[in-house]
Chains A and B, each alone.
Chain A
Amino acid sequence: MSILENAKQTAQGLFQAGMAKAIAMAPDSWIPGGEPDPLIRERHGHVGRPVSRIDGPLKVSGKAPFAAEFPMEGMVYAALAYSTIAKGRLSSLDTADAEAAPGVVLVMTFRNAPRMQPPPLFLSGAKAAGGDKLPVMQDDRIHWNGQPIALVLAETQEQADHAKSLIRVGYEVEHADIAFAEARDRGTDTAEFMGQPLHDEIGDAEKALQDAAFKIDATYTTPRHNHNPIELHGLTVAWQGDTLRMHDAQQLVAHTAWSMAQVFGLDEKQVVVTSPFVGGGFGSKSMWQHHILAAAGAKLAGRPVRIVLSREGVFRLVGGRSPTEQRVALGADQEGKLTALIHTGVTVKTPHNAMPEPFILPTRSAYAAENVLLDVQKVELDMLGNTFMRAPGEAVGTFALECAMDELAEKLGMDPIELRVRNEPEKDPISGLPFSSRHIVEAYRAGAERFGWSRRNPKPRSVSDGEWLIGMGCATGTYPYYRMPGGAARITLTREGKAIVDIAVHEMGMGTSTVQTQVTADRLGLPMDAITFNYGDSTLPGVIMAGGSQQTAAIGASVIAAHNALIEELLRIAGNDSPLAGLKAKDVGSRNGGLCKLDEPERHETYQSLLARAQRDKVTVEAQPPQPLETMHWSMHSHSAMFCEVKVNKVTGEPRVTRFLGSFDCGRILNPKTATSQFRGGIIMGLGLALMEDTQFDERKGRVMNPSLAEYHVPVHMDVPEIDVIWTDIPDPHAPMGAHGIGEIGITGTGAAVANAIYNATGKRVRDLPITLDKLL
């Protein structure tokens, strides 16, 4: 970096710091969420009801079209060939047999691929979507084992797959940095996440640790994980005139449209990405090389292309979670008050992405400790760009932190819940901001009661049933409330009293369209069947990602803004004969199918009447919410208390989870039915993280050796016990609807709850995930 740029960055940093301070100090009323969303008070509407998914019938009858199911005239099918070395160049690439194979329309390699710009790297700009920033098929260089080296298009999928197998490749192999431990020993750098160094210090934590009456100091390791949403990454793509049309499986429609436009040198409007249904994303359904290759192939072949990655393909070209090696050291006094909290360690990324697994994030707001040291170091390896995977940072960070708390509780001879309660902070320990809403203690109390925590024998290895040792454990989960810039929504109100909401968001199975229909119905004072919620289309307003569990808040704030604009517009056209004549927007709200004066509800007029009088068929407004300053004014987080019961076989070491309870504090629950599914799904993924998920990355070649669901284990039905979920349902007064997104919190804390239960059952502390039976023998 040049001196100039350094100076610029420093200045920017100072400016940002100044801004942050100003926002922190500003009066609440200046901040979005300073005045609670009126919907929080609404207790008799659709919000909070267990409404079944509105897309349920479509899905169970097979009529919901997924990305790879859109038919297109003249469509061809794609197969990809992947490199088998980690670094070097292609010394030969013989595609003659493939080209001559039956049905083959095109074999594309770096030799004939169109010239394209590298994808804009996610987080490098407001609309950037790329999983990494490497140029795609532009030269003979290999950057990771599994990089696509050829795209075959053929009349059928089988022909494409067969032709691909006929491609002959030679390599000039270069030394690749692949091994984590070797790279770590050579030296590490401080990692940055979203432009900020992952480093915090308060006081002198190492010294406080030395002086502490009670302490633990341990290393925890977590392995690589790969994304395995049930729907494979797929895309149907066509060039229609100058327009690139993509039916995609996406959690970033608008970002991807813009990013594809950059790659192909188009105007953003020339790329249309739609994604009505997605079979799971978890952070993986962003923009990867197959998008670019399929579009490039479609361009060269002059035909629409359907590409569906094989399961192996998802392992080869969609990034996963990086391994971590974490140290947690805790010092405490006689009463269990933390005097030192150290959470440091190393993770892995590539030179061409921006995602070090930020495992200290959950620790920042976890506990009141006098002295704190948090730090993430990184090494860069020659591998596929790793990426966001459900609760990146928190999922594995809480494993280390919350196991360490359990270890400390045992040292102190204290109940692990009690230890956590004693270290509840009054304000955010790092930022100093007040919490917007924090009820962990309530969540623990309710969870402990319902789970029967008092029956736990604190002495390890003291309960058994025949061949099985039985144990209980608990842990805290946490995930931030995020709301990112870029929100916008459009509302169209018709003379029939129906409302259409347009917003470029995503339905990956979470229940977004259902829940937002409920919310919008309440907000506009309409029945649910009067609301049409349009989403999953990059041409709709908003640049909103379904990530960071922020979509709920982003939609909420956007629809609030559009609703305010709608009220203004309706008042403008209301005319002097309306009972609303002369009122100010701030005094008016939606109720019973129309508008009324808030403190004089009988001054009411229906939408139909308002539009009829104004002789309008419809009114359309579009608006953007204010910048998300609330996250710089309050410390905003969701929390959970996780309880687990396990049995471990005395003979074989087999660990099996027998009971689980998640007690959540995530603001107001908008729909208990869809929320329960999100919580349970997160917990199940957490059971996988605890007990089995493990990418076998062969450090000799940088190659993933278990790229299939037969060998990459996720929990099967028999691994999943009854999972109980409860919640505080206390609204966050500063969040739209009083709600937090809940897509990720379920996986956090789960790993530690399982590990702590296993310790209680067996007396064995396994600090290395996954906890497989060989570690318990």
Chain B
Amino acid sequence: MIPFSYARASDVQDAIAKGALGGTKFLGGGTNLVDLMRETIERPTGLVDVTGLSSEITETRDGGVMIGAAARNTAVTEHPLIRSRYPALTRAIVAGASAQIRNMATVGGNLMQRTRCTYFYDGEGSHCNKRAPGDGCDALSGFNRSHAILGASDACIAVHPSDMCVALTALDAMVHIEGSDGSRSLPIKDFHRLPGDRPDIETMLQPGDLITAIELPASSIAANSTYRKVRDRASYAFALVSVAAALEIENGNVRDVRIALGGVAHKPWRAERAEAALRGKPAGEAAFLAAAEAELAAARTFEGNAFKVELARRTIVSVLTELSGGAV
């Protein structure tokens, strides 16, 4: 670990002021950042602790829910508004990490957590474009069983590890950001970036930008949503593939649908092609399969992860079938 300074932010403006110094990073629960600092992969010179900022979970005027960025992951899963209106979100969060980590982790930190690619973690012994652009990518012809099948580049094939973000993506969440030039918001599907030739730049945040809240819009479809995570052991493992989806069926036809995939791309993957293929179609296995195929047609696989295409296909179909309940 490299020596660093530590300060607590008293409010958003204080956080922005303190965070504006070069080399500074915001500190949430520290469950990812501190690990990376121990490995000297992250080398901030100063930490600004933002866990004292808003962690409130409140209903918005138009019937959505606003979650303060400092809300602990566990608090989100336990909140009655979330449990009743956005079941996919609770399911996604509890499918992640361990109870202890979820108790520490914040919503802001979860959004910003970095990939678990083992070459990325091996600062001393491996080449990684995400750590050092231009250094090369050892995962391309190395261990890539957990790596991306969609949207990857020749520079980086890592995946975003979050479960929570996959559900947020299916639920059309908005990310509220505060920066030195004021506040703005972004739909979560546009918040994370694909690797391209700069895999080191993972989100649309500018240096010094602070995530202040996540907003879930009011949504009738969200109540019929779920999350399914496929992993190598029963708990405490990252997703090989995960699916968050919401489905509304009317007269046997798909009226509306949301699908997001985890474990397949550098960002939580909104399956827009699958959604488009499904809207208005008669709900049923054939249509679900066709939708999955439409999304996965663009998949590009590597030696270790070819199985993910079939796994994603099956999991999408199974989740949609489950959500369609007795309707089909």
**Chain A residues within 8 Å of B, Cβ to Cβ:** 82, 84, 145, 158, 161-162, 165, 467, 651-654, 656, 691-692, 696, 698, 700-701, 703, 705-706, 708, 710-711, 713, 715-719, 772-774, 777
Contacts and interface: CB of A to CB of B under 8 A. Distances in A.
25 contacts: A84-B124, A161-B1, A161-B38, A165-B2, A652-B230, A652-B318, A653-B311, A654-B231, A691-B233, A696-B143, A698-B138, A703-B125, A705-B126, A708-B121, A713-B232, A713-B233, A716-B235, A717-B235, A718-B234, A719-B235, A772-B232, A773-B230, A774-B240, A774-B307, A777-B307
B119 A705 contact: yes
Interface of chain A: mostly helix, strand, loop or mixed:
loop
Contacts of A772: 232
A596 B88 CA distance: 75
Nearest to B321: A651
Contacts of A774: 145, 240, 307, 311
Interface in B230-277: 230-237, 240
A708 B119 CA distance: 13
A162 B237 contact: no
Contacts of A706: 118, 143
A691 B145 CA distance: 16
A653 B40 CA distance: 37
B1 A158 contact: yes
B143 to A, nearest CB: 5
Contacts of B141: 700
Contacts of A710: 116
Contact of B143 (A656, A705, A708, A773): A705
Contacts of B235: 716-719
A773 B40 CA distance: 34
Contacts of B3: 162
B2 to A, nearest CB: 7
Interface in B278-323: 307, 310-311, 314-315, 317-318
B142 interface: yes
Contacts of A696: 118, 143
Contacts of A165: 1-2, 40
A387 to B, nearest CB: 22
Given A706-B118, A719-B233, A84 B125 contact: yes
A752 to B, nearest CB: 20
A749 B141 CA distance: 35
Given A651-B315, A696-B143, A656 B234 contact: yes
Interface in B202-252: 230-237, 240
B122 interface: yes
Nearest to A770: B232
A715 B232 CA distance: 10
Contacts of A705: 118-119, 122, 126, 142-143
Contact of B236 (A654, A656, A691, A716): A716
A773 B240 contact: yes
Nearest to B139: A705
Given A652-B311, A774-B311, A777-B307, A145 B233 contact: no
B125 A162 contact: no
Contacts, number: 82
B116 A692 contact: no
A347 B318 CA distance: 42
Contacts of A711: 116, 118
Contacts of B307: 774, 777
B314 A715 contact: no
Nearest to A84: B125
Given A158-B1, A651-B315, A651-B318, A703 B126 contact: yes
B214 to A, nearest CB: 25
Contacts of B126: 703, 705
A656 B314 CA distance: 18
A654 B230 contact: yes
Given A165-B2, A654-B230, A773-B230, 19 more contacts: A84-B124, A161-B1, A162-B2, A651-B318, A652-B315, A692-B232, A696-B118, A698-B142, A700-B141, A705-B122, A705-B126, A710-B116, A711-B116, A713-B237, A716-B233, A718-B234, A718-B235, A719-B234, A772-B232
A597 B272 CA distance: 90
Contacts of A703: 122, 125-126
B125 A692 contact: no
A716 B118 contact: no
A309 B318 CA distance: 45
A89 B137 CA distance: 25
B81 to A, nearest CB: 28
A197 to B, nearest CB: 35
A248 to B, nearest CB: 26
B224 to A, nearest CB: 20
Contacts of B143: 696, 698, 705-706
B95 to A, nearest CB: 12
Contacts of A84: 124-125
Contacts of B142: 698, 700, 705
A774 to B, nearest CB: 4
A717 B237 CA distance: 13
Interface string B1-21: 111000000000000000000
8 shortest interchain CB distances as A-B pairs: A718-B234, A84-B125, A774-B307, A705-B118, A718-B235, A651-B318, A652-B230, A716-B236
B34 to A, nearest CB: 13
Interface string B149-178: 000000000000000000000000000000
A229 B116 CA distance: 23
Contacts of B233: 691-692, 713, 715-716, 718-719
A738 B123 CA distance: 54
A652 B311 CA distance: 6
A376 B145 CA distance: 31
A145 B125 contact: yes
A773 B230 CA distance: 9
Contacts of B118: 696, 705-706, 711
| Interface-central residue, A82, A651, A692, A715, by most chain B CB under 10 Å | A651
